[in-house]
Amino acid sequence: MNLPRHTSRLAAGVGVAAMAATALVGATASTASAAPVSGVYQCANSAGVGLGNFTTTINATLPATAKAGASVPAGLLPAFTAQITSPANTATLLTTTTSGKSSDFSVSIGSTAVSAPITATGKTVNPDNSVTFEGKGTNAAFVTPGAGTYSINMPAKFTLQGTDASGNPTVTATCQIATPPSLGSVTISKQDSTVSAKAKAAKVKVVVTNEFGKTGGEIATGKVTVKDGKKKIGKGTLKNGKVTIKLKGNKKLSKGKHKLVISYAGDDFTSAAKAKVTVKIK
């Protein structure tokens, strides 16, 4: 999959697209350029008859880093290129096939599948009678997975649909590989978070915001605790990034000033954070 470089074109984007581009580039501008990666897939027609080994080659550029839980719109990423070469024994079968597509082609980032359909328009019959189709693909909408380092892999299975010059379907092939090739790896870090709170005598209202929750990404989840000085006085669990915490035993804060510390523990997508609130109870 072709993922973005930290370029002025992406930096100039606005709204969701700009946020998503920032998330994919991550905290640094470093990128890793991957050489073309090939996998040999065993393909069969719709009747289950084997067609032989199809060599599928993907040429992509990968980011070194990204942010977790960011929503990436469809088509945001630059197109990657694909070459699919069928064996010589399929040349006659593919005589009328001039183009094709794979609507279910995808890549995986760990266990997260990212749909990346391919459309192939260029056809070359090679000297050995093998046939090569050249095409491009780009991403469907997806959300980046939780923090960690992941291999980005080609699919274990995909379907090819050939078409003739009039756009009519010709050959359908299902292609599989036991061990999908890796296109590279990406290290995904947690989003930064901010904790805000309003306190009263008997309860504390807490809101945790992260970088991409408001643009279709993962909203902060997890545990929140409240301390009055060193004493723990309440806890709760975020729902849609918010929680109202009642004090332990339904007690109320005593009269006077209280320096409360609100701690958010973080989750797979969002970093831990703290906030301090001073409340005066009359």
How confident is the model at residue 253, as a pLDDT?
Answer: 87
Q: How many CB atoms lie within 10 A of CB 251?
A: 12
* Domains parsed from the chain with CATH numbers: 8-189 (2.60.40), 193-281 (2.60.40.150)
Q: Own/partner pairs for 130-134, CB < 8 Å, 24+ apart?
A: 130/85, 130/86, 130/87, 130/88, 130/91, 131/85, 131/86, 131/90, 131/91, 131/94, 132/83, 132/84, 132/85, 132/86, 133/83, 133/84, 133/85, 133/86, 133/99, 133/100, 134/81, 134/82, 134/83
Point out which residues pair with 123 in neighbouring strands.
Answer: 133
How confident is the model at residue 20, as a pLDDT?
Answer: 55
The two beta strands, 118-125 and 99-102, are antiparallel
How confident is the model at residue 62, as a pLDDT?
Answer: 74
How confident is the model at residue 188, as a pLDDT?
Answer: 95
The answer for residues whose C-beta is within 8 angstroms of residue 16's C-beta and 6 or more apart is 71, 73, 215, 216
**Where do the DSSP E strands lie in 34-111?**
37-45, 50-59, 61-63, 65-67, 71-72, 80-86, 99-102, 106-109
Predicted TM-score (pTM) of the model is: 0.83
In the chain (282 residues long), the average pLDDT of successive 10-residue segments reads 34 42 47 76 95 95 86 85 95 93 96 96 94 95 96 96 95 97 94 95 95 95 95 95 88 89 98 94 85
> How far is residue 113's CA from residue 13's CA, in Å, rounded to a whole number?
25
Q: Which phi and psi (to 5°) does residue 48 adopt?
A: 90, 5
